[in-house]
Amino acid sequence: MPDPLLELRDLSKNFGALTVTSDVSLTVLPGEIHAIIGPNGAGKTTLIHQISGTLRPDLGTIRFAGQDVTALPFERRARLGLARSFQITSIVPGFTALENVALAVQARSGSSFRFLRPVANEEALNDEARTALDSVGLGRVADRSAAALSHGEKRQLELAIAIAMKPRLLLLDEPLAGAGPEETERLIGILRELRSRYGILLVEHDMQAVFALADRISVLVYGRVIVTGMVDEIRGHPEVRTAYLGEDALA
| C-alpha distance from residue 25 to each of 20, 53, 84, 247 (Å) | 14, 16, 20, 26
User: Among residues 72, 92, 177, 207, which is the contact residue for other proteins, using CB under 8 A?
Assistant: 92
Please report, as residue ranges, which positions from 179 to 238 form the binding site for other proteins (by CB under 8 A). none
90 binds other proteins (CB under 8 A): yes
Nearer to other proteins, 111 or 196 (CB): 111
Is the distance from CB of 230 to CB of 216 less than 8 angstroms? yes
CB 124 to other proteins: min, Å: 12
Q: How far apart are CA 48 and CA 45, in angstroms?
A: 5
Please report, as residue ranges, which positions from 24 to 63 form the binding site for other proteins (by CB under 8 A). none
Residue window 150-169: x/- pattern of binding to other proteins, with contact defined by CB under 8 A: -----------x---x----
CB 208 to other proteins: min, Å: 28
Measured over all CA atoms, what is the biggest interatomic distance in the chain, rounded to whole angstroms?
Answer: 63
Amino acid at 58: D
Is the distance from CB of 169 to CB of 162 less than 8 angstroms? no
By CB under 8 A, how many residues form the interface with other proteins? 36
Residue window 105-144: x/- pattern of binding to other proteins, with contact defined by CB under 8 A: -xxx--xxxxxxxxxx-x----------------------
In DSSP notation, 71-87 reads: T--HHHHHHHTEEEE-S
What order do you get walking across the sheet with 169-173 strand by strand? 82-85, 169-173, 199-203, 33-37, 216-221, 224-230
User: Among residues 95, 215, 237, 250, which is the contact residue for other proteins, using CB under 8 A?
Assistant: 95
User: Among residues 103, 132, 191, 213, which is the contact residue for other proteins, using CB under 8 A?
Assistant: 103
CB 223 to other proteins: min, Å: 24
99 binds other proteins (CB under 8 A): yes
Q: How far apart are CA 213 and CA 194, in angstroms?
A: 11
16 binds other proteins (CB under 8 A): no
Chain CA centroid to CA 197, Å: 14
Helix (H) / strand (E) containing 161: helix 151-164
DSSP reduced 3-state for 166? coil
User: Among residues 56, 79, 151, 192, which is the contact residue for other proteins, using CB under 8 A?
Assistant: 79
| C-alpha distance from residue 20 to each of 14, 40, 48, 171, 190 (Å) | 6, 12, 12, 19, 32
Given the rule CB under 8 A, which of 85-93, 135-143, 181-189, 233-241 is the region that contacts other proteins?
Answer: 85-93
Given the rule CB under 8 A, which of 8-16, 81-89, 217-225, 235-243 is the region that contacts other proteins?
Answer: 81-89
Query: Between β-strands 33-37 and 59-64, what pairing exists: parallel, antiparallel or unpaired?
Result: unpaired
Interaction site with other proteins (CB under 8 A): 73-76, 78-79, 83-84, 86, 90-95, 99-100, 102-104, 106-108, 111-120, 122, 161, 165
